[in-house]
Amino acid sequence: MLGLMQAWPLTVDRILDHARTWHGDSEIVTRSVEGPVVRTTYAEAHRRAKRLSNALKDLGVQPGDRVATLAWNTARHLETWYAIMGMGAVCHTLNPRLFADQLCYIINHAADKVILTDLTFAPLLLAQRDKMPTVERIIVMTDEAHMTGVGDPDALCFETLIAKYGEDFAWGGFDENTAAGLCYTSGTTGNPKGVLYSHRSNFLHTLVTLGGDLLGISARDVVLPIVPMFHANAWGLSFSAPAAGAKLVMPGGRLDGASVHELLESEGVTFSAAVPTVWQMLLNHLRQTDGRLTTLKRVVIGGAAVPEALVRAFQDDFGVEVTHAWGMTETSPLGTEAQPTARTLALDPESQFRLKMKQGRPPLGIEMKLTDGAGRPLPHDGKTSGHLKVKGPFVAGAYFGEQGGEILDEEGFFDTGDVGTIDDYGFMQITDRAKDVIKSGGEWISSIEIENLAMGHPKAELCAVIGARHPKWDERPVLLVKLKPEQIATREDFLDFLEGKIARWWMPDDVLFVSDIPLGPTGKIDKKALRERMKDYMLPSAR
């Protein structure tokens, strides 16, 4: 027997409709790509998004067509998302940090029909124009006055275009499983793979992340999404902020400490989310300028290993609550957050801090398990490392355009490629990527754990640990260190520093000083590139 409640498809256009109706005056403030800080509201953004839907339809965009964006976090980018998704087309977010050939690969794989680009990225895109046969139109997200520098007569001007169209457009009305967004993983192995979000998955991710154990933002918050809309959906904030009716502050392309600090203070930001490097830049700026944070209450950090010192500085020196989160493109992206529970709040402060540094607990809507290589469940004892697998309504079930690629196990779980532990409090900790874990004598050594510890050395700017071939142990860890400017250090300085902090058999067999460590397009260490560089290296212990 079926229930008798209303049929109300979970489509994301309803999110902006809600913001328009109940929080129409709430602002969206943007540090524009053109320069000045510009202000609009949810009501106005709703009207402009509808104009854009009409324009795209007139350009031949049909439901299901892919329309790409290559843009910073701005109100125009937000309008563009809703315009595309509301009409049933698929919003494909392009990551400008990708190499040009990867960008072309992705555009061609998705068969994008139209691309909307910021002024910043227009030259990059137009230089590759002839390598994108499916792309019929490029729209530059600016006004007519700034089109002069673009230098392509075929490129359309966003403002000029939408001014021609009316505000009436019927969004939604389709199956909630309709594709809404497309985002390619950074592809550290093989080609990038496309995650095809549905309206339902985005809507449910929004509701779940609005809960008090994840982002928990409300109509009382002022939200600054520093995490980009072009990668992992700005952690869903482009949906959750309007859903909550929170004022939204968009940082555009200027993510340096001074620019971020200025926005935090001038707009009264209460909540923000970013990767550690951005927070580190802000912290450096605050220290150099003796700056304060007078309105910021909470920040969520994720996307890469978080230095302890950073978390302590925000908490202790600036009174900002920091929580650590984990997720990936395939999880929409939030999977866990290290929010305390009544049980963990009863622990001593140091134990609480240890839990805070873990990646945290999954909310209702994310099932999570830890398995060995054969798929057998492993205990939640905080010690046993295993493959981390997830399941849920906003977790990928397949990749776009990959025929017959079954990516789920027999219980329907997706293998995250991460290796981690889960403790008795339900807190998960990532110890490594499965492909980066160092297999030494049949046991696992966490490259990330050694890296994080080594990063605590005052002379270290960046550290990486990879496994090197060893005739007896199979693999042994090697530490690569990029020193801070003007620093000098020896192999022994680092080994002494690690001594006592990790098990003896985890101690690196070698320490190498390098002038750079390669990073991937999302700012993480590119271990694939590093292993390629190191392919002729031989351990002293293996010689």
204 is a site residue for a second copy (CB under 8 A): yes
Instruction: Between 10 and 525, name the residue whose CB sits nearer to a second copy.
Output: 10
In the list 103, 250, 395, 539, the residue contacting a second copy (rule: CB under 8 A) is 395
Nearest to 511 by CA among 477, 536, 488, 486: 477
**Look-up: residue for tokens 């905080």?**
382
Binders of a second copy among residues 2 to 31 (CB under 8 A) are: 2-8, 10, 14-15, 18, 21-23, 25-26
Binders of a second copy among residues 324 to 383 (CB under 8 A) are: 332, 339-343, 345, 361-362, 364-365, 367
Binders of a second copy among residues 234 to 273 (CB under 8 A) are: 243-247
CB neighbours of residue 383 within 10 Å: 9
Whether residue 310 contacts residue 275, with contact meaning beta carbons closer than 8 Å, is answered with no
467 is a site residue for a second copy (CB under 8 A): no
Q: How far apart are the first and last CA of the chain?
A: 71
Q: Which candidate in 308, 367, 444, 528 is catalytic?
A: 444
Cα-to-chain-centroid distance, residue 429: 18
**CB 46 to a second copy: min, Å:** 14
Instruction: Between 183 and 498, name the residue whose CB sits nearer to a second copy.
Output: 183
Residue 151, C-beta contacts closer than 8 angstroms, at least 6 positions apart? 126
- How many amino acids of this chain bind a second copy (CB under 8 A)? 78
Catalytic residue status for 444: yes
DSSP 525: B
**CB 398 to a second copy: min, Å:** 4
Q: Tokens representing 1?
A: 């027997």
CB neighbours of residue 19 within 10 Å: 25
Kindly report the backbone phi and psi dihedral angles of residue 13, in degrees, each rounded to the nearest multiple of 5, phi listed first: -60, -30
**Look-up: residue for tokens 């976090």?**
73
86 is a site residue for a second copy (CB under 8 A): no
222 is a site residue for a second copy (CB under 8 A): yes
Whether residue 209 contacts residue 236, with contact meaning beta carbons closer than 8 Å, is answered with yes
- Amino acid symbol at 193: K
**Of 47-55, 257-265, 392-400, 486-494, which part binds a second copy (CB under 8 A)?**
392-400
Beta strands in 21-176 (DSSP E): 27-31, 37-41, 66-70, 90-93, 114-117, 137-140, 156-157
- Amino acid symbol at 361: R
**Of 75-83, 163-171, 395-403, 438-446, which part binds a second copy (CB under 8 A)?**
395-403
Whether residue 363 contacts residue 356, with contact meaning beta carbons closer than 8 Å, is answered with no
Distances (CA, A) of 321 to 224, 356, 427: 15, 11, 18
Instruction: Between 107 and 448, name the residue whose CB sits nearer to a second copy.
Output: 107
In the list 189, 218, 289, 384, the residue contacting a second copy (rule: CB under 8 A) is 218
477 is a site residue for a second copy (CB under 8 A): no
Catalytic residue status for 185: yes
225 is a site residue for a second copy (CB under 8 A): no
**CB 395 to a second copy: min, Å:** 5
47 is a site residue for a second copy (CB under 8 A): no
d(CA 189, CA 113): 27
Q: Which candidate in 435, 439, 484, 501 is catalytic?
A: 439
Q: Which candidate in 11, 117, 185, 421 is catalytic?
A: 185
Instruction: Between 1 and 503, name the residue whose CB sits nearer to a second copy.
Output: 1
Q: Which candidate in 27, 267, 330, 337 is catalytic?
A: 330
Nearest to 116 by CA among 86, 93, 82: 93
**CB 67 to a second copy: min, Å:** 13
Catalytic residue status for 189: no
**Of 215-223, 279-287, 308-316, 493-501, which part binds a second copy (CB under 8 A)?**
215-223
**Of 34-42, 175-183, 228-236, 441-449, which part binds a second copy (CB under 8 A)?**
175-183
**Of 113-121, 205-213, 516-524, 531-539, which part binds a second copy (CB under 8 A)?**
205-213
Three-class secondary structure assignment of 451-477:
HHHHCCCCCEEEEEEEEEEECCCEEEE
Binders of a second copy among residues 49 to 78 (CB under 8 A) are: 63-64
Whether residue 337 contacts residue 322, with contact meaning beta carbons closer than 8 Å, is answered with no
CB neighbours of residue 319 within 10 Å: 12
175 is a site residue for a second copy (CB under 8 A): yes
d(CA 226, CA 424): 33
200 is a site residue for a second copy (CB under 8 A): yes
Binders of a second copy among residues 264 to 323 (CB under 8 A) are: none
Catalytic residue status for 482: no
Instruction: Between 220 and 312, name the residue whose CB sits nearer to a second copy.
Output: 220
Binders of a second copy among residues 433 to 462 (CB under 8 A) are: none
Considering only CA atoms, give the Rg of the chain.
24
In the list 187, 382, 393, 456, the residue contacting a second copy (rule: CB under 8 A) is 393
Query: Residue 416: helix, strand or coil by DSSP?
Result: strand
Residues designated as active site: 185, 330, 439, 444
